Amino acid sequence: MSETIFSKIIDKSIPADILYEDELSLAFRDINPQAPIHFLVIPKKAIATINDIEEQDKTLVGHLYWVAAKLASELGFAEQGYRAVMNCNEDGGQTVYHIHLHVLAGKPLGWPPYQEKLKR
Ligand code: 5GP
């Protein structure tokens, strides 16, 4: 897999506002926040898209949600609520091809993301 900007954040060759790190994952604030609180939780293992998650990665992907919930609790927005989502490929809006959980919070968030009326 080709290197992404997130590999450089993991190896600290470019800076990021890091909130949490362990041997499996890293969480850091998004450079272009889409909500009052917006951070990313990424695996240190480079996996390009959700479609590339293999059976041996199942625990790792669960770990990302565990980190999201831990930070939500520590940062004080767990009870109020938040969204934790992964975008996949072009229609999903993915721009960095190293899977990442977006954690968005701090205001009521819009839903659904697709607003156009579905044709019957
Ligand atoms: P995607 O569009 O792939 O779901 O999300 C990629 C996210 O990474 C975007 O929200 C974008 O703002 C964020 N991002 C891209 N480059 C950087 C960077 O260099 N530093 C940080 N902190 N976030 C980045």
Sequence ranges of the domains in the chain: 5-105
Nearest CA to ligand 1 atom 12: 32
Residue 18 Cβ < 6 Å to ligand 1: no
Could you tell me the pTM of the whole model?
Answer: 0.96
CA gap 3, 6 in Å, rounded: 8
Q: What is the pLDDT of residues 3-57, one digit of tens each?
A: 899 999 999 999 999 999 999 999 999 999 999 999 999 999 999 999 999 999 9
What was the pLDDT predicted at 1? Answer: 57
Q: What is the pLDDT of residues 52-85, one digit of tens each?
A: 999 999 999 999 999 999 999 999 999 999 999 9
Query: Which atom number of ligand 1 is nearest to the Cα of residue 38?
Result: 10
Question: If pLDDT is split at 50, 70 and 90, which confidence band does 115 have?
Answer: confident
Residue 3 burial (CB count, 10 A): 11
Read off the amino acid at residue 54.
E
Find, among 59, 84, 60, the residue nearest to 71 by Cα.
84
**CATH number of 5-105, picked from 3.40.50.11740, 3.40.50.300, 3.30.428.10, 3.30.1300.10:** 3.30.428.10
What was the pLDDT predicted at 103? Answer: 98
In this structure, are residues 41 and 24 in contact, taking their beta carbons and an 8 Å threshold? no
